Amino acid sequence: ESALILIRHGESLWNEKNLFTGCVDVPLTKKGIEEALQAGIRICNIPIDVIYTSTLIRAQMTAMLAMTQHRHKKVPIITHNENEQANLWNQIYSKETKKQSIPVTPAWQLNERMYGELQGLNKQETAERYGKELVHGWRRSYDIPPPNGESLEMCSKQAVAYFREHIEPQLQSGKHVMVAAHGNSLRSIIMYLDKLTSQEVINLELSTGIPLLYIYKEGRFMKRGSPVGPTEAGVYAYTETLALYRQELDEMSQRTS
């Protein structure tokens, strides 16, 4: 069995300003940084072997900040495979260092959906300009794209295809995976995992910085909610693998204290 953690990035500077962000590369606010750190605390006892993020800095910041809170203290390292030279210069030549590292793979397919001509516009002002009903359709329908942008359906095709081709095989091989991405790309993946209809997915809301845990076992994905607070013990009780890993972390902590 394998763990799959999904995290929507923390609050960005344009979330704070109520602007359509889409594929514009905007960093986190101070609140977003704190959300990412809190997400890390919530997943600090769950094994993570590989990390996938979008190519946008708000998702990458969230992943990196979250990992500073992990009890295993492995170092997340972004992989660069853009060309042969980048791949060569990114090599780690110590086996021990490599063992204490977690590869982080950025993928554009996990990016937020492209909001076209809405990007950078204030959401409230846009609703007043175009009408609330039309803007609501652009934001919350499954197959209606904003002007020169992507619909959720278009975003879903690329995100789910990437998940099935690259992430699912990692889970099948027994690797534990974290994905830090965006509201729409993660809704698309959850639609696939939970077998939601196009009507169900448009009502799905994901909070910034709240991790969701799935267990992959025998070809099935089982949602375990968010590993936080009073529900944490229940999350670990679901799976022997997570319980043993947490015990290993406790023993490691005792040896170093």
Catalytic, 9? Answer: yes
**Whether 140 contacts 153, CB under 8 Å:** no
C-alpha–C-alpha distance, residues 32 and 13, integer Å: 8
Active site residue 112: yes
Tell me the C-alpha to C-alpha distance, in Å, between residue 140 and each of 25, 132, 222: 22, 12, 26
The verdict on whether residue 21 carries a ligand-binding annotation is yes
Catalytic pick among 9, 70, 176, 182: 9
Q: Is 248 annotated as a binding residue?
A: no
Tell me whether residue 17 is annotated as binding. Answer: no
Determine whether the annotation assigns residue 185 to a binding site: no
Burial class (CB in 10 A: 0-12, 13-18, 19+), 169: exposed
Q: Does 150 belong to an annotated binding site?
A: no
203 is in an annotated binding site: no
Residue 214 annotated as part of some ligand binding site:
no
The answer for residues whose C-beta is within 8 angstroms of residue 205's C-beta and 6 or more apart is none
Q: 35, 70, 112, 182: which is the annotated catalytic residue?
A: 112
Token reading at 58 = 């708000």
CA 221 to chain centre: 16
Q: Do the annotations mark residue 113 as ligand-binding?
A: yes
To the question of whether residue 93 is assigned a binding role by annotation, the answer is no
**Other CB atoms within 10 A of residue 219 CB:** 8
195's CB contacts (< 8 A; 6+ apart) are none
> Is 120 within any annotated ligand binding site?
no
187 is in an annotated binding site: no
Sheet holding 75-78, edge to edge: 75-78, 101-106, 50-53, 177-181, 2-8, 212-217, 220-223
Q: Is 240 annotated as a binding-site member? A: no
166 is in an annotated binding site: no
Q: Give catalytic residue positions.
A: 9, 112
* Binding site per annotation, positions: 8-15, 21-22, 58, 112-115, 123, 139-140, 183-184
User: Binding site for substrate: which residues?
Assistant: 8-15, 21-22, 58, 112-115, 123, 139-140, 183-184
